[in-house]
Chains A and B, each alone.
Chain A
Amino acid sequence: MSTTTTVDVVGTARDRVDGRLKVMGAATYPIDVNLPGLAHAALVQSTIISGRIRDIAVDDAERAPGVVAVITHLNTPPLAIGPPTEIGPQPLPPFQSDAVLHYGQHVAMVVAETREQANSAAALVEVTYERDTPVLSFDDERATEVTHPWTPDHDRGDVSSALAEAEVRINQIYTTAENTNNPIGLFATVAVWDGDALTVHDTTQNPHGARDALAAAFGVDPAGVRILVPFVGGAFGAGLRVWPHVPLAALAARITKRPVKVVLTRAQMFTAVGHRPNTIQLLSVGASRDGLLAAIDHVSRSSIGMEGELINLVTNGSLTAYACPNVSTRARQIRQSIPIPGWMRAPGEAEGSFALESAIDELSYALNIDPIELRIKNHAHVHPDNALPWSSNALLDCYRLGAERFGWSARTPEPRSMRKMDQLVGYGMGRGALGAYQPPCKAIATIRRDGTAFVRSGGTDMGPGTYTVMSMLAADCLGVPIERVRFGLGDSAMPKAPQEGGSGFTGALGNAVHATCVSVVRAFVNLVSDDAMSPLKGCRLEGITVRNGGIQITDDPARFETYADILTRHGLDEMTIEGESAPPGETSSATMIVQEGRFIPYTPPSTGTLAHAGAFAAHFVEVNVDPDLRTIRVARVVSAVDGGRILNPKTARSQIIGGIAMGIGMALLEETVSDRTGRLVTTSLAEYVVAVNADVRDVDVLFVGEPDAMTPLGTKGIGELAITGMAAAIANAVYHATGTRFRSLPISIEKVLGLQPGH
C-alpha cells in the first residue's frame, strides 16, 4: 500500500451491470416466468363504452378445450381496494359489479391450460350489454368535475389586477392529446398461492404497493404476500398502480388452485394500464414592456375516468417557474367515459410545461426579446413563494451553456427567416423543471466472509440503471471493488422501498444505500476499535479510508485489514446492517458522506433555511420544416441539464435522451385516438406512432450544476425532467420556422397544412 488515493466509481460513465444479461435475453422479466402446473389466463374486454352487462354467456368458453375456469363479476368475491400509496389512491378493484365504465374494461377472464386455448376460448364469451350514452366531451353537460385533495388550488398575489394592468398580455388555450405509455415489455402477472400466502411475479414499479393492494384485496396478511420483479421492460409510470389484471390473476390462481399467468396484449396495454389524459389549458401571462413578468394564470382541465382518483399536477410547475409576483393555478379534472388514466412520464408537468413554455415564447415575440433573455430576466433566484434560497439551481448555466453548445447566436429572430437547402429552419427553446421529491426508503447491506457485498432494497429497476448506479454507490461507500458488489431489488421481501416514480427513486434509494453502507463500515470500525489483533485498533470513522475490500488508517497505509479478515477473526460469516433514508428536512441528524473512501461529516441544512430545488433543464431544438409537404423533423436537440450530482453520466444521458425522444413523440406524433363512439382505434404500435430512431437525430446532452445541498448524496431526479419543456421547445422552433403558432398537440401534418378537421 504505497498510496491512499481512492478513485470513486460514482461519477464515471459505466456500462450497465445487467447489460450483458439483457442483451443475451437472460434477464427474466415477469413475462418470462414459468412454473410447474402453470395455467394461462386471457382477458375479455368490453366492446361498449358505457352501460351494463345484461348477460354474460360463458358456457361455450367453459366447454372449450383446455379451459379451467371462467371468471366474471358473477363469481368474483368482494375485493377490497388497496391502501393509497405515496402518490395517491389505487384504481378500484375489478369485477365488482355489472357496470361498464369504458371501452376495453375487463369483463371476463378465461383460464386454460395454454395461452392459445385461453385466447381462443375468450373469443367464445358472449356478453350482452345494455348501452347508455357515454360522456366523451368536456362540454357534455353530464361531465362532472372532480374535486379531491390531490390537486389543490394555489394563489400568490393578485392575478386578476396584475393581468388587467399588464402592458403586454398573452392569453391562449393550449391542448395536449391523450398519450399512452407503451413500454416495449408487455405487462404480465404470474400468481401462485400457498394457503394464504401469495407469490406474484408482476410488472410493477412498486412491489410494496402491489403487496399491500393484493393483501387488502384478498384480506390476507401482507407479510405473506411476496412480489417479485427483478426486471421491468419499461413502464414510464404504467407500473405505478395496481391495475385490474393483477388482482384478477391472483383471484384466478385462488379459484383454480394453480399458478396463473396473464400477459396483456398490446391492444390491452392501451386500455388496461393507464395513460396520460388529455388537457385543455387556459394560460394568461402578463408582463411589462421591458419583459418583467407580472402575472401567470394557469387553468387546466384534464380528463379522468368515470371512477377513481388520480393526482394530475398539470399546473404545478407554473407556481415556481419564474420570479412572478402574481400566480394563480387551477387543475381540474373532468369525468369522461375513457379508460382509467394513470401516469406517464412527468404526468401533468409535461402537459403544463407545454402551455407555460409556449406562452413565454409567445411573450418573447410580443416583446421582441430573445426567449432566453426573457427567461433569464424572470429567473427565480429564490423560491418565489417563500423567498428561501434554492438548495441548488444551475438553470442560468443551463441557459447559457446550452445556448453556447447549440449555437443559439446564429438564430435570426424573425420567423421564417432561416433556411437550409430548401427547408425552413426554426430554432426554439424551452425551460424544463421537475420538483424535488424524495420519499422514505430502506435498504440492507451485507459484507460476507468471502469479501463480497450484497446490498438490496425492495424497489425496482424499470430501465434507468438502478442496479448499476446502486452497485457503484455501494462499491464506493464500502470500498469494495464493484465486481465484488451485487445489488438486489425487485422483491417485496427486501426492505421497504417506495415506488420507482416521481423521479424520486434514485434519491430515496441512493441515500438509503449510502446511509446503510456507512452503517456497515461503522459496525466494522466498532468491531475492531478495541481489537488488539487488528492493525486498525483504535480507529474512528473520520480517520479511515475504505478501499480494496477493507479499511485502512488514512494516514498509515500499512495499517489495513480486509472485511473478510475481520469477519474471520471474529468468527462471523457476515456483517448485515439495515438502514434508511428519510425525506430531506424530516430528520436533521448529522451523518457522513463518503468521498474517495473517506468519511466526511455532513450536516443537512436546518429546516427552513433552503428551498429544496428539483432538477432543471434548458432544451434547444432545431426543426426543419418542408415548406411544401409540411413535414417537421427535429434535426438537432441540445439539452443542458442541472441534475445535481450525476452518479453515472452514461445512464443519466440515456435517461435524458429517452425523455427527449418521448418529448418529440408528444410534440409531433403521439395521440391515443378514440372515435366519436368512444371506441379506441389506435391499438397497436403501427397506429399509435411514437418517435423512432430516424426521428431522434442529433441529440446532445450536457450536465451542469453541483450536487444538491439538501441530501448527503446530492442527486436530483432526472427520470422525467427531459420531457418537461421539450414539447414546447419543439413547438416554439416550429413557430420560428413557419411563423405559425401551434397550440394543440400533436403538431400533426394536417395542422401544419392548415387542413385539420373542424378548421
Chain B
Amino acid sequence: MKEFTFERFTQTTDAASAAAARSGAMYLAGGTTLVDLMKIDVLTPDIVIDVGPLGLSRIDVSDDAISVGAGVTNSQLAWHPVVRDRFPVLSEAILSGATTQIRNMATVAGNILQRTRCPYFRDVHASCNRRQPGSGCDALNGFNRGHAVLGVSEHCIATHPSDMCVAMIVLDADIHTMRPDGATRLIPFRNFHVAPGDTPHIEVALEHGELITHIVIPHLPAARRSHYLKVRDRASYEFALASAAVVLDLDGDTIRAARLGLGGIATTPWRATEAEQSLKGRKASDATFREAAETALAGAVAREHNHFKIELAKRAIVRAFATAREAKV
C-alpha cells in the first residue's frame, strides 16, 4: 500500500473541491472496494477523502419516488420496508451480494462505483487496459471464466460485479451528483456506466471530483411483481456467474410490459431493452421468455472459458420471469 493522506469534510462542496483540485484524490465511503484495492496496489491514491461525515445517508420516500442518499448502506436500503414492498427486485439483488458484514459497511454509491473482479485488473504485474491504459488485456486469452459476454471489446472483457446495479438499471433510477463548483446534475442510471470500447479505463460518466449525492428511484407499480435471480457456484457470498433482474406487468397471462436487466455477464449493468420490447403483448409462457432470452443474448461474444454463461444467462432469464409470473402480489 502506498502512503496517503486522509482528509474529512462535513460539507459536500468542500469535499468535492478538495478532490477536484488534486488528481491523486479518491473518495472513501464504506471502503469495501477502495481499501481492498489499495492493499494490493491497484489503487494508489495520494489523498483519501472520507465522505462518511457528509451525512448523505437519508432515505426519503414520497408517493412517486424514493430518494436514497449516497452514503446509505446496502443493508439499510435492502431492508427498508418501502423497498421490500415496492421494489422486491432491488432488495433481493442487494441481499444476494456479499455478506451481512460487507453490506453493513458498503454504501449505495460505493456499490455503483465498485470495480471489476477481473484477476488481471487485480494483479499489478498483469496487462490490463482498464488499470493501465494501452498495456493490453491478459484476460482475452487468459483465464476468463468470470468474464463478460455482453458489452465487451477487444480491449477489455471485465465483468461489472454489482448485483444492486442490475436492479437499479431495471428500475430506471437516476443518479444525482454534485460537481466541485457546487452545480448538480442528474445522470440516468443507464448512461452512468460506460462500456469499455477502446477506453476501458473510463468506467463511469463522472468527472474527477464529482460526487454522487443521492439516487432517485421512481415509483413503478409493476415492480411489485419483480425478482432478482442470481446464479453462482456456491450458495452464498460469491459474485454472479449470471443474474437477471426482471419486472413483469401482467394482464391476466398476457404481458403488458416487462423489464430485464442482466448481471455477471456484461461489462456494465446491462439493460436488455430489445428483449423487453419483444415481450410486450405476448403470453407469459416459458417459451416466450426463452425467445426474449435469445434476443437478450443475441450479441454475446464468448471467450475460451465463459461460453457457458450465454446459455446460463438465458436459463436465468426464463427462470426469473417465470418466478415473477408466479409471485403473489
Contact = CB atoms under 8 A, between A and B. Distances in A.
Interface of A: 47, 116, 119-120, 123, 267, 628-631, 633, 668-669, 673-677, 679, 681-684, 686-687, 689-695, 748-750, 753, 755-757
B311 A755 contact: yes
A750 to B, nearest CB: 4
A668 B141 CA distance: 25
A635 to B, nearest CB: 11
Contact of B143 (A123, A631, A675): A675
B239 A681 contact: no
A750 B308 contact: yes
24 contacts: A116-B3, A119-B1, A628-B315, A629-B319, A633-B235, A668-B233, A669-B233, A675-B143, A681-B119, A681-B142, A682-B119, A686-B117, A686-B238, A687-B117, A687-B119, A689-B233, A692-B237, A694-B237, A749-B231, A749-B233, A749-B241, A750-B308, A755-B308, A757-B307
A685 to B, nearest CB: 9
Interface in B97-123: 117, 119-120, 122-123
Given A669-B234, A687-B119, A694-B235, 17 more contacts: A120-B1, A120-B3, A629-B319, A679-B123, A681-B120, A681-B142, A684-B122, A686-B238, A686-B239, A692-B236, A692-B237, A694-B234, A694-B236, A695-B234, A748-B233, A750-B308, A756-B308
Interface string B134-148: 000010011101100
A120 to B, nearest CB: 6
A357 to B, nearest CB: 23
B173 interface: no
A753 B142 contact: no
Nearest to A677: B142
B117 A753 contact: no
Interface residues of B, number: 37
Contacts of B307: 750, 755, 757
B236 A757 contact: no
A47 B138 CA distance: 14
Interface in B228-283: 231, 233-239, 241
A753 B41 contact: no
Contacts of A681: 119-120, 123, 142-143
Given A628-B318, A629-B319, A681-B142, A120 B2 contact: yes
A673 B142 CA distance: 11
A740 to B, nearest CB: 15
A757 B305 CA distance: 6
B231 A631 contact: yes
A116 B1 contact: yes
B126 interface: yes
A131 B41 CA distance: 25
A417 B234 CA distance: 25
Give the top 9 A-B pairs by smallest Cβ distance, nearest first: A750-B308, A694-B235, A694-B236, A755-B308, A47-B125, A681-B119, A675-B143, A675-B142, A681-B143
Contacts of A686: 117, 238-239
Contacts of A669: 233-234
B95 to A, nearest CB: 12
B40 interface: yes
Contacts of A630: 312, 315
B316 interface: yes
Contacts of A750: 145, 307-308
Contacts, number: 88
A629 B315 contact: yes
A682 B142 CA distance: 12
B291 interface: no
A676 B119 CA distance: 14
A186 B122 CA distance: 20
Contacts of B143: 673-675, 681
A676 B140 CA distance: 12
Contacts of B122: 683-684
Contact of A629 (B120, B231, B239): B231
A683 B119 contact: yes
A676 B141 contact: yes
Contact of B234 (A675, A682, A691): A691
Nearest to B142: A675
Nearest to A746: B233
Nearest to B310: A755
A329 to B, nearest CB: 33
B304 interface: yes
A692 B234 contact: yes
Contacts of B238: 686, 689
Contacts of A668: 233-234
Contacts of A756: 308
Nearest to B229: A629
Given A669-B234, A748-B233, A753 B3 contact: no
B304 A757 contact: yes
A380 B238 CA distance: 43
A179 to B, nearest CB: 14
A138 to B, nearest CB: 19
A629 B316 contact: yes
A48 to B, nearest CB: 9
B123 A683 contact: yes
B182 to A, nearest CB: 36
B235 A695 contact: yes
A662 to B, nearest CB: 13
Nearest to A48: B125
B123 A123 contact: no
A114 B315 CA distance: 52
A123 B311 contact: no
A145 B47 CA distance: 54
A692 B119 contact: no
Contacts of A693: 236
B316 A692 contact: no
A238 to B, nearest CB: 21
A676 B312 contact: no
Contacts of B146: 687
A578 B120 CA distance: 56
A267 B40 contact: yes
A673 B139 CA distance: 13
A689 B234 contact: yes
Residue from B123, B233, B241, B312 with most neighbouring chain A CB atoms (10 Å): B233
A206 to B, nearest CB: 31
* Listed residue (B238, B308, B311) with the most chain A CB atoms within 10 angstroms of its CB: B308
A286 to B, nearest CB: 36
Nearest to B141: A676
B97 to A, nearest CB: 12
Nearest to A65: B3
A628 B234 contact: no
Given A679-B126, A692-B234, A692-B237, A753 B2 contact: no
Q: Please indicate which of the listed interface residues B120, B138, B236, B237 has the most CB atoms of chain A within 10 Å of its own CB.
A: B237
A756 to B, nearest CB: 7
A628 B41 CA distance: 41
Contacts of B41: 123
B109 to A, nearest CB: 21
Nearest to B231: A629
A586 to B, nearest CB: 45
A693 to B, nearest CB: 7
Nearest to B124: A123
Nearest to B44: A123
A386 B70 CA distance: 73
B102 to A, nearest CB: 11
A686 B98 CA distance: 10
Contacts of B311: 753, 755
Contacts of B236: 692-695
Contacts of B2: 120
Contacts of A684: 122
A628 B231 contact: no
A675 B143 CA distance: 5
Nearest to B125: A47
B223 to A, nearest CB: 24
Contacts of A673: 143
Contacts of B123: 679, 681, 683
